[in-house]
C-alpha cells in the first residue's frame, strides 16, 4: 500500500515551524549555544567549560523528561494544523477516523520494569493521552500507538501506521516523533560514554532537540478529501539486530538489508540517484555503518547520490531524526531545490534498530 504524506509540522532550534526550519536547514543556518548549566572538563589546560549544544531557546526551558517531549510534540502538532490540509480541531468526524503513532527515545534502562507492554502502556498514559488533550483533537485513544526505536523511530512508526490503515481501523494516521538530548540525566550518560563532542572528543555528537510530524493517508482518503499530497511513500522497511550498533564492529549489514528491501518494495530497478538522508552526527561508529552499507549497496546506489544530514544544523535530535529528514525532503520538492524526484532516508539506532524509507515527489 502506497501512503501519501499530506501534512507536515516541526519545531527545532532553527525554526518554530516546518517552513522556517527547513528553509534555515537549506541555508546552512545553525544556532549552537553554550549550556551554562552543564560543564565539561578539559585537560589542557585543566578547566571547566560549558557544553555547546542546540537547545530551542525560549521554548523548552523549565520542562524535563516527558514534559519536554510533550512541549516539543505539541508544538509540532500545532504546526501541522497550520501548515497542512487537516480541518480544524473541532472536526470530530475527521479526527475520529484518524490514528496517531508516536515515536519516543529509548527509556533509561534503569527505568524499565522488565514488562515491555506495561511500560509502554504507562508511558502512553503519561505522554500520548496528555498530548491529545493539549492539542485539542478528538483522536480516539484506542487508535493510538507508542513505540521506541531510537533514531529509526519515525520509520518504524510509518510501518505501524501502514498496518493500521491496511486493517481499516482508520483512514489516516499522524506520525509524530519528539526527542531531547538536553536533560541532565541524558547528558550525564552521554558524557560517561564519551559521546559528547568537545575539544577532547572531536568525533562526538552535539546534543539537540526537536519534534516533527506528518500526516499519512491512503489514496481513498485523498480522493474523498480532494487534497494534493506532499509526497508518496513508495516503501518503508525496519528491522532489528540484537547486537548493539554502537559497540559491535560496524558492518553496515542491517542498513544494507533494509535498503535493499525498501528499493525492491518500491520496484526500483535502476540505481538510486537522489538525495540520501542519513542520521550522521559526528560519531565514528555511525559513519562507519553508513560507509560499509554504501559499499554493500554499490549496485543499488548511484555514486551520484547527494548525502544530506540535518545534524549539521540541529545537532543530534535522536528519535525525531527520521521525521525531520522526511519534512526536509518534502520541503525540498515544494521549494524546487531537490536534484531528483526521489529521496531515500536511512536511520540506525545505537541499540540495533535500522530503517529505510523511499519518498517520491508528486508531480504538479
Residues listed for the chain: 364
pLDDT at residue 1, as a whole number: 65
Q: How many CA atoms lie within 13 A of 348 on its CB side?
A: 30
At which residue does the C-alpha cell 555528537 appear? 205
Task: Name the domain count of the chain.
Answer: 2
Distances (CA, A) of 209 to 15, 238, 302, 317: 12, 23, 32, 5
Q: Are 8 and 97 in a shared domain?
A: yes
Final residue in a domain of this structure, among 180, 201, 225: 225
Q: Are 73 and 193 in a shared domain?
A: yes
pLDDT at residue 161, as a whole number: 95
pLDDT at residue 51, as a whole number: 86
pLDDT at residue 74, as a whole number: 96
The model carries a pTM of 0.93
Q: Are 244 and 203 in a shared domain?
A: no
Q: Are 119 and 242 in a shared domain?
A: no
pLDDT at residue 109, as a whole number: 54
pLDDT at residue 45, as a whole number: 62
Q: Are 250 and 333 in a shared domain?
A: yes
Q: Are 135 and 18 in a shared domain?
A: yes
Final residue in a domain of this structure, among 181, 197, 225: 225
Q: Are 81 and 109 in a shared domain?
A: yes
Domain of residue 113: give its range: 3-225
- Per residue in 48-83, pLDDT (tens digit) is 788 899 999 999 888 888 899 999 999 999 999 998
Q: Are 99 and 197 in a shared domain?
A: yes
- Grid cell in block for residue 128: 500520548
Q: What is the mean pLDDT of each run of 10 residues along the chain (364 residues)?
A: 90 96 95 85 69 92 88 96 81 91 78 55 86 93 90 95 92 96 89 86 92 93 86 94 80 94 92 93 94 94 92 96 97 89 94 94 74
Q: Are 78 and 179 in a shared domain?
A: yes
pLDDT at residue 112, as a whole number: 46
Counting residues of the chain whose pLDDT is more than 70, the rounded percentage is 94
Q: Are 240 and 181 in a shared domain?
A: no
Final residue in a domain of this structure, among 206, 225, 244: 225
pLDDT at residue 113, as a whole number: 44
CATH of the domain at 192: 3.40.47.10
DSSP symbols for 112-153: --S-HHHHHHHHIIIIIHHHHHHHT----GGGEEEEE-GGGH
Amino acid at each position: 500500500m502506497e501512503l501519501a504524506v499530506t501534512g507536515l509540522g516541526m519545531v527545532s532550534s532553527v525554526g518554530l515551524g516546518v517552513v522556517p526550519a527547513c528553509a534555515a536547514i537549506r541555508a546552512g543556518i545553525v544556532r549552537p549555544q553554550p549550556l551554562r548549566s552543564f560543564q565539561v572538563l578539559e585537560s589542557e589546560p585543566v578547566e571547566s567549560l560549558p557544553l555547546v549544544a542546540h537547545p530551542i531557546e525560549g521554548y523548552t526551558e523549565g520542562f524535563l523528561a516527558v514534559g519536554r517531549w510533550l512541549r516539543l510534540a505539541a508544538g509540532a502538532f500545532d504546526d501541522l494544523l497550520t501548515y497542512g490540509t487537516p480541518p480544524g480541531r473541532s472536526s470530530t468526524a475527521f479526527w475520529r477516523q484518524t490514528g496517531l503513532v508516536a515515536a519516543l527515545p529509548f527509556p533509561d534502562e534503569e527505568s524499565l520494569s522488565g514488562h515491555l507492554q506495561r511500560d509502554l502502556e504507562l508511558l502512553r498514559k503519561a505522554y500520548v493521552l496528555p498530548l491529545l488533550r493539549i492539542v485539542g483533537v478528538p483522536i480516539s485513544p484506542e487508535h493510538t500507538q507508542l513505540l521506541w526505536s531510537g533514531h529509526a523511530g519515525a520509520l518504524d512508526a510509518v510501518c505501524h501506521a501502514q498496518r493500521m490503515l491496511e486493517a481499516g481501523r482508520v483512514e489516516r494516521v499522524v506520525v509524530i516523533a519528539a526527542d531531547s538530548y538536553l536533560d541532565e540525566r541524558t547528558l550525564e550518560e552521554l558524557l560517561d560514554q564519551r559521546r559528547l563532542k568537545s575539544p577532547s572528543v572531536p568525533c562526538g555528537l552535539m546534543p539537540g532537540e526537536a519534534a516533527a510530524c506528518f500526516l499519512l493517508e491512503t489514496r481513498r482518503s485523498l480522493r474523498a478529501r480532494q487534497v494534493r499530497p506532499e509526497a508518496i511513500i513508495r516503501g518503508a522497511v525496519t528491522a532489528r539486530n540484537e547486537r548493539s550498533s554502537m559497540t559491535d564492529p560496524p558492518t553496515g549489514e542491517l542498513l544494507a538489508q533494509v535498503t535493499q528491501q525498501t528499493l525492491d518494495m518500491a520496484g526500483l530497478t535502476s540505481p538510486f540517484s537522489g538525495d540520501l538522508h542519513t542520521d550522521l552526527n559526528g560519531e565514528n561508529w555511525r559513519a562507519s555503518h553508513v560507509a560499509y552499507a554504501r559499499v554493500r549497496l554499490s549496485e543499488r546506489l548511484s555514486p551520484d547520490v547527494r548525502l544530506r544530514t540535518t545534524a549539521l544544523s540541529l545537532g543530534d535530535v535522536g528519535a525525531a531524526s527520521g521525521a525531520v529528514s522526511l519534512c526536509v525532503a518534502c520541503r525540498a520538492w515544494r521549494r524546487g531545490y531537490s536534484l531528483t524526484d526521489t529521496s531515500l532516508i536511512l536511520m540506525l539506532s545505537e541499540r540495533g534498530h535500522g530503517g529505510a524509507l523511499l519518498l517520491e515527489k508528486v508531480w504538479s
